[in-house]
């Protein structure tokens, strides 16, 4: 690549899209946002007022035909990821796709195939791989500090009530995709192995509005896993917990254990006659800000240096396979083997 800025289109200007957009607009000087795409005029208006005079589009097809881009950030609903990715790749545009990568393995494989054929980068948004605490845990695992990994347990509990569009599992793949994709990738990363079988249970405890029209929707899920190397895994996911954003992981080895992630917002503790009080992380948008910046930085670097992304299409594909298997297990009550 030459010294010119990497021209980026942002498709999806909701919370996740705007985290990346802020980084590309003001924190990574080699990047320049040239298009904002969202079907919501409100989202586009808010994005433009914050980021400045950038061309806006309601339809991503119009954006691709109207603006020259080097790369695209996809932060749209999952059901559109495959189409946007393939259209981008076919125009020679590098792709950063937020998780979940797609709705099923076939869509993921299509995305990988097209990006490989067109020789463009495909990075998946598993930002925990760029978090300093999670990186340190991985380094300690690899140093042999806890011996062989026996079990990885990862949880994500979100404070927000699910959005109505999430109720239809055919369109969202449910909380296993929307909430627990990061945990699934974390288990695979820390165990150093692929999932071989899963068993999952789900229940709706906090979303009464979904029960009538979407009786299969769940806002609480536990997934137990076995890996090809014999290690074990547990994923716990929940939406609407209200108390804060909770993302923690435990890696148990043959001779020790590693903990990473935290619920505490900072290290300040107040003690008085009413008791003890400490701050709690209120949102994922606060907890992983540095990790988002690091993964955005790495995406630009992999284009400039012409190297593979650190988190590639295969990582997104394997997580989606586990999401689909977990949902099948919830439906059938059976243990599902994963090829």
pLDDT of 3 reads 56
Average pLDDT over the chain, rounded to whole?
95
Asked if pLDDT for residue 185 goes beyond 60, the answer is yes
Q: What band does 2 get if pLDDT is binned at 50, 70 and 90?
A: very low
pLDDT of 253 reads 98
Q: Are 71 and 299 in contact (CB under 8 A)?
A: yes
Q: What band does 136 get if pLDDT is binned at 50, 70 and 90?
A: very high
Residue spans of beta strands (DSSP E) within the chain: 6-11, 31-37, 55-57, 71-74, 94-98, 122-125, 149-157, 195-203, 220-227, 232-238, 246-253, 257-261, 264-272, 275-280, 336-337
Q: Tell me where in the chain the CATH 3.40.50.720 domain(s) lie.
A: 6-128+289-311
3 vs 216, which has greater pLDDT?
A: 216
140 burial level (CB within 10 Å; 0-12, 13-18, 19+): middle
Average pLDDT estimate for 16-34: 97
Average pLDDT estimate for 204-230: 97
Digit-coded pLDDT (tens) for 321-335: 999 999 999 999 999
Q: In 3D, which of 69, 59, 93, 83 has the Cα closest to residue 9?
A: 69
Average pLDDT estimate for 314-323: 98
Whole-angstrom Cα Rg for the chain: 20
User: CATH fold of 6-128+289-311, please?
Assistant: Rossmann fold (3.40.50)
Q: Does the model's pTM come out above 0.85?
A: yes
Asked if pLDDT for residue 196 goes beyond 80, the answer is yes
Q: Tell me where in the chain the CATH 3.30.360.10 domain(s) lie.
A: 129-288+319-337
3-state secondary structure 160-207: CCCCHHHHCHHHHCHHHHHCCHHHHHHHHHHHCCCEEEEEEEEECCCC
Asked if pLDDT for residue 308 goes beyond 50, the answer is yes
Asked if pLDDT for residue 306 goes beyond 90, the answer is yes
Q: In degrees, to the nearest 5, what angle opens at C-alpha 178 toward C-alphas 174 and 184?
A: 100
Average pLDDT estimate for 160-168: 92
First to last CA, the chain: 38
Average pLDDT estimate for 116-120: 98
Average pLDDT estimate for 72-90: 97
Q: What band does 228 get if pLDDT is binned at 50, 70 and 90?
A: very high
Asked if pLDDT for residue 1 goes beyond 60, the answer is no
Phi/psi zone of residue 126: left (φ > 0), alpha (ψ -120 to 50 degrees), beta? beta
For 129-288+319-337, the fitting CATH number among 3.30.360.10, 3.30.830.10, 1.10.10.10, 3.40.120.10 is: 3.30.360.10
Do the strands 71-74 and 94-98 form a parallel or antiparallel pair, or are they unpaired? parallel
Asked if pLDDT for residue 270 goes beyond 80, the answer is no
Digit-coded pLDDT (tens) for 238-263: 999 999 999 999 999 999 999 999 88
pLDDT of 278 reads 83
216 burial level (CB within 10 Å; 0-12, 13-18, 19+): middle
What percentage of the chain carries pLDDT values higher than 90? 90
């Amino acid at each position: 690549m030459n010294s010119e800025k990497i021209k980026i289109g942002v498709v999806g200007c909701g919370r996740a899209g705007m985290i990346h957009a802020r980084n590309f607009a003001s924190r990574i000087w080699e990047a320049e946002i040239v298009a904002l795409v969202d079907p919501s005029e409100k989202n586009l208006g808010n994005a433009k007022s914050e980021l400045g005079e950038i061309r806006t589009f309601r339809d991503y097809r119009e954006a691709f035909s109207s603006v020259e881009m080097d790369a695209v950030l996809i932060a749209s609903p999952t059901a559109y990821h495959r189409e946007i990715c393939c259209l981008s790749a076919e125009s020679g545009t590098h792709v950063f796709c937020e998780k979940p990568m797609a709705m099923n393995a076939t869509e993921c494989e299509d995305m990988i195939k097209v990006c490989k054929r067109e020789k463009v980068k495909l990075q998946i948004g598993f930002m925990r791989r760029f978090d300093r605490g999670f990186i340190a845990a991985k380094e300690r695992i690899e140093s042999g500090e806890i011996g062989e990994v026996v079990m990885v347990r990862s949880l994500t509990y979100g404070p927000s009530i699910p959005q109505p569009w999430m109720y239809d599992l055919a369109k969202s793949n449910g909380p296993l995709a929307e909430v627990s994709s990061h945990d699934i990738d974390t288990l695979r990363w820390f165990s150093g192995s692929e999932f071989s079988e899963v068993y999952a249970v789900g229940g709706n405890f906090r979303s009464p509005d979904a029960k009538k029209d979407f009786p299969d929707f769940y806002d609480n899920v536990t997934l137990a896993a076995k890996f090809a190397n014999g290690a074990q895994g547990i994923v716990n996911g929940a939406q609407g917990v209200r108390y804060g954003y909770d993302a923690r992981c435990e890696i148990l080895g043959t001779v020790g254990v590693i903990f990473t992630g935290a619920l505490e917002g900072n290290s300040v503790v107040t003690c008085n006659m009413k008791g003890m009080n400490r701050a709690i992380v209120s949102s994922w948008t606060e907890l992983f800000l540095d990790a988002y910046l690091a993964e955005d930085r790495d995406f630009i670097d992999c284009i400039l240096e012409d190297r593979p992304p650190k988190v590639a299409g295969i990582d997104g594909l394997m997580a989606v396979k586990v999401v689909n298997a977990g949902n099948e297990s919830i439906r059938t009550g059976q243990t599902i083997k994963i090829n």
